[in-house]
Structure 1
């Protein structure tokens, strides 16, 4: 199999797997227990917390230290951010139109519960519309905005969002800013303090760490309402027994991902090789977000006249793994909400798939993928009577 779906999940790195195996054999106890074995487990959890905060540019020392709440992953962290921040603060909630389903779903639920939630539009290039955001922040003085949620980089197109500009607007209007940085971690440098975010979501399994561990970083002084109850762990803000081995593996994964330079260079080389080969070899292929700055490993490309699901299945049968969008929405037959939000032509939306490479991929795999794509797209296009030309 040629695995090109790393935005859905990346394979566990052997070094991290070995680290987890060794710790597992040490018979780690409950970190809330008072005995020596429990104190050993607690030290693993707290050391991991500090390592992750330091690695991501958050403050770790003194009275002004930022906070990291361990969660089961990015979806839980995003839900905790939206529900937890908004529960303590009246006002409208703004989320961008291209957010991950875990943010959009949380916003929909808040709307059902009677909260005013609005969607920030994006440009044709897939960038959050800053002028639209500015207008929304000042539109209704009787109902000010309380929370804004904008992701750092889109999981489908890879387009990097203007996070520092969003943060500046939020600060200007005294609005809390939450950023989902799940896809950016390990590909582009992250500095929580420099971004001026109030809350940031991260997770391990997108950067060759284990599934089942993520986190929500909160700026010092930011209060959040718990969404789970029945325990005192993590100051009662996210109760439940912490998983010391997963916490330690998460920290080790983050530390490994901090050296983004050489990794990003290889990822860009592989992604660009795939993109160039597709554009050169397949007529009327459309690279989505091509004019914007993108993550180095993500390629969203459309083949008008081809059904995206039929294409994914055909590639899978040939041993190539890719996706038609977010893995959290892949069970749906609905077209990509991201491509629709960019107001792309219907045939581009219908024919769009996503490739996401890792440093484990090779040039030979990329070349093989191009070769297979040429044949599969040609075959599928012969099966349809749809006639389409870009710009028509």
Structure 2
């Protein structure tokens, strides 16, 4: 099997599974309980929080656990909106955000908030000059993803941070779900970023665990009310085993990051250069200023889902851009925002690599691609 769908989810590291099993079976107490089992669980919880904070260069009390990226994005977008609405009701998100951000913003429109969607250029990068023009005295939030999940374009977070440097009344949120281990941490977690969202299963942890970074002193409405966990911001019994596993996964992936990024870039370049030689192949991703692990392409006249299943017959797994909306059969929203015609956007499929992939798998993929390309000649 060749698994090239790592932006959808990753295989948990063996060490991560071991950590999960040990905590789940040996330290199973509720961390809110007063007895010894609860105290043990609470210590694991806080040690995991501290490890994550240190790995990101942040404070322990700036890390809050969630169930994943979608919950984190919903919490930040909606929680900030309602917390700051007395100061303004204008929000800006990019036009290529993940549905967890974009749909949250659209829902806020039904609640009386105004939302502007910052456009992107033909390569999929937010137009910072247009974003600047959209800013208003009543703007309370700007949300821009670090790495686009559909084509891999790395967004200009540093430039946007500079733009917002003297605008303290505007909260800046970054969806960093696709960024961990793929680009340098300081490229998306700048000093100006107030909130950032992360999801464990994107970097070899178990599913159902994520966290947000909330800069100290920044206010946000609670996600869940109840027992007062997570300093009252998310009241629910913590998934301690999953949290410990996520801390372990983050340490491993960041330890591997520099070497892993070089390996990913080398594999992506071989794929990019090889696919470029086919007349009817369309490359939607590029090499420069794009994540090293994502390459989105298509074959003219062949729908993306057809390609996905064609590769699956050879035990090769890719996806039609965003896994969250792939079953809807709609063209990639990012490509449409880039001005790509719908008939071409519908051909898009995404390869998303991982450091566990290797060049032999890349060569096998290219061999099968050639076979599929020839078989689709009549359609093309």
TM-score class, shorter-chain normalisation, is over 0.9
After TM superposition, the structure 1 = structure 2 runs for residues 1-392 of structure 1, keeping only pairs within 5 Å, are 1-60=1-60, 66-90=61-85, 91-138=89-136, 141=137, 144-174=138-168, 175-191=170-186, 194-259=190-255, 260-280=257-277, 282-290=278-286, 292-383=288-379
Decide whether aligned partners of structure 1 residues 173 and 274 sit closer, same or farther in structure 2, where only a CA change above 3 A counts.
same
> SS of the counterpart of 2:328?
coil
Q: Give the CA deviation at 1:350.
A: 1.8
Q: Give the CA deviation at 1:381.
A: 3.9
Separation (CA, whole Å) in 2 of partners of 1:231 and 1:24: 21
Aligned residues: 374
Q: Give the CA deviation at 1:27.
A: 4.1
Which residue of structure 2 aligns with residue 63 of structure 1? none
Q: Tell whether the 8 Å contact from 1:137 to 1:173 is kept in structure 2 after alignment.
A: no
Separation (CA, whole Å) in 2 of partners of 1:45 and 1:159: 34
Q: Give the CA deviation at 1:50.
A: 1.2
Q: Give the CA deviation at 1:77.
A: 0.3
1:125-149 Cα deviation digits (max 9, x unpaired): 11000011000014xx4xx211010
Decide whether aligned partners of structure 1 residues 160 and 269 sit closer, same or farther in structure 2, where only a CA change above 3 A counts.
same
Q: Tell whether the 8 Å contact from 2:21 to 2:241 is kept in structure 1 after alignment.
A: no
Separation (CA, whole Å) in 1 of partners of 2:189 and 2:125: 23
1:323-342 Cα deviation digits (max 9, x unpaired): 11111111211111001011
Decide whether aligned partners of structure 1 residues 105 and 374 sit closer, same or farther in structure 2, where only a CA change above 3 A counts.
same
Separation (CA, whole Å) in 2 of partners of 1:374 and 1:173: 52
1:50-96 Cα deviation digits (max 9, x unpaired): 11111112134xxxxx5111000010000000001111112211110
> SS of the counterpart of 1:327?
coil
Gaps of 5+ in 2: none
> SS of the counterpart of 2:324?
helix
Q: TM-score, normalised by structure 2?
A: 0.95
Separation (CA, whole Å) in 2 of partners of 1:292 and 1:270: 14
Gaps of 5+ in 1: 61-65, 385-392
Separation (CA, whole Å) in 2 of partners of 1:83 and 1:94: 13
Separation (CA, whole Å) in 2 of partners of 1:319 and 1:256: 28
Q: Give the CA deviation at 1:193.
A: 5.9
